[in-house]
Amino acid sequence: MKKYNVCIVGGGSTYTLGFLKSFARMQEEFPLNKLVLFDID
């Protein structure tokens, strides 16, 4: 099965928690190889 690399630009946003919960819930349908959170200082 293919695994995906995902980069979330704006990783310090309040929306990021929702994205992370969704990724955790959808592990079988959308497996992740790498998850990177990127934001400015």
Total domains present in the chain: 1
pTM (2 decimals)?
Answer: 0.77
Whether 40 maps to a domain, the answer reads no
Q: How far is CA 31 from the centre of its chain?
A: 10
Give the domain extent around 14. Answer: 4-30
Phi, psi of 10, rounded to the nearest 5 degrees:
95, 35
Whether 23 maps to a domain, the answer reads yes
Where does the pLDDT of residue 41 fall: very low under 50, low under 70, confident under 90, or very high at 90 and above?
Answer: confident
Whether 35 maps to a domain, the answer reads no
> What are the tens digits of pLDDT across the range 5-39?
999 999 999 999 999 999 999 999 999 999 999 99
Whether 20 maps to a domain, the answer reads yes
